[in-house]
Amino acid sequence: MILNHMVEFQAPHLDAVFHALSDPTRRAMLHRLTDGQRSVSELATPFNMSLAGASKHIKVLEGAGLVRRHVQGRTHMCQLEAARLAEAQEWLRTYERFWTSRLEDLEEILREEDRATAQAAGKLPEKPSTPENTSRRQK
Amino acid sequence: MILNHMVEFQAPHLDAVFHALSDPTRRAMLHRLTDGQRSVSELATPFNMSLAGASKHIKVLEGAGLVRRHVQGRTHMCQLEAARLAEAQEWLRTYERFWTSRLEDLEEILREEDRATAQAAGKLPEKPSTPENTSRRQK
DNA sequence: AATTTAGTCAACCATATGGTTGAATATTAT
DNA sequence: ATAATATTCAACCATATGGTTGACTAAATT
């Protein structure tokens, strides 16, 4: 529970990171940066888009902390900054158990039966499942 | 290179998945589903939001394939569907090497030096770095 | 049969997003 | 000094997003 809190709230970047990743142009840009630094115009060229448009995308990536920029003269060099990607992966790791093992399916089924019985036992409470009262079976 | 293509293009869900994950309400909803199925109103209650609003969020999650819905009578039961999360994690895995090992930093530095020399050697080509001509040092 | 409950739908609103163009800024090359 | 290059900025546009409310549909309860 405490860990969940940490994952959910100790990473206040997730909104920005996931949003940045939701655009294919930006994902492609990140991917090109795995090969090394690229200037803004280098990053822009493969895309059928104005330089200003590409520049905006880069700013989104920068804002999400996925790219760092070093200005050298008139060219802005962009570099992949992976830390926030690690945070995103960490968030996803919480859900790994839902695809890694069929054992988890069984666990899930048991939980379901549990719920079903509880529901059959009586009326649903008025606030049936706030985070506070669903800790019945904590991890 | 072929693998990169696969990661980038064989997962056409990434836009929708990452977009779905970019909203804290939706992430919280997913999280609550790790504890078992929830009806739409159960999912909605913890949030200071109209039922219709929450319903929209759930539809976004459904659209991204992160939630499945079984209608039983008048209640719609929502269930976590993790496969697409696995795809997202798979995409992120491509970047793991950028945070897992300091060895990669060295590799990166070497690549940088390589680039710098190439640049010093002559003018930058007109299309300096299309995906085709940056395969100089392939993975 | 009447009412409550669960949920969607449609219309609306403010703001965000992804894109454009044209002008502005600063650096480098001639 | 002039021109070219690299990039941002500001204004604009269409569409998407996250939210609301009120009306509607369908199922369960009384």
Q: Which nucleotides of C are covered by protein (CB under 7 A)?
A: 5-11, 17-23, 26-28
For residue B72, the chain A residues in CB contact (below 8 A) are none
Chain A's closest residue to B112, CA to CA, is: A36
Chain A, 75 to 134: residues with Cβ < 8 Å from chain B are 80, 82-83, 85-86, 88-89, 91-96, 98-99, 108, 111-112, 114-115, 127-131, 134
Q: Please count the CA atoms within 13 angstroms of the CA of A114 that sit on its side-chain side.
A: 13
Chain B's closest residue to A9, CA to CA, is: B24
pLDDT(B90) > 70: yes
Distances in Å between the Cα of A48 and the Cα atoms of A7, B16, B63, B89, B126 are 37, 22, 28, 28, 16
pLDDT(A105) > 80: no
Which whole number is the average pLDDT over B100-127? 57
pLDDT tens digits, B24-83: 999 999 999 999 999 999 999 999 999 999 999 999 999 999 999 999 999 999 999 999
CATH 3.50.50.60 fits B2-87, yes or no: no
Token output for A115:
């719920």
Q: Which nucleotide is closest to the Cα of A42 by its C1'? A: D6
- Tell me how far apart the alpha carbons of residues A128 and A123 are, in angstroms, rounded to a whole number: 10
Is residue B132 very low, low, confident or very high in pLDDT (cuts 50, 70, 90)?
very low
Which whole number is the average pLDDT over A40-61? 97
d(CA A124, nearest CA chain B) in Å: 10
Average model confidence (pLDDT) for chain A? 79
Q: Which nucleotide is closest to the Cα of A38 by its C1'? A: D6
- Tell me how far apart the alpha carbons of residues A46 and B25 are, in angstroms, rounded to a whole number: 35
CA atom of B118 to C1′ atom of D14, Å: 43
The one-letter amino acid at B86: A
Closest CA to B36 of A116, A99, A8, A4: A116
Q: Where are the domains of chain B?
A: 2-87, 95-137
Helix A83-93 × helix A14-21 angle, to 10°: 100
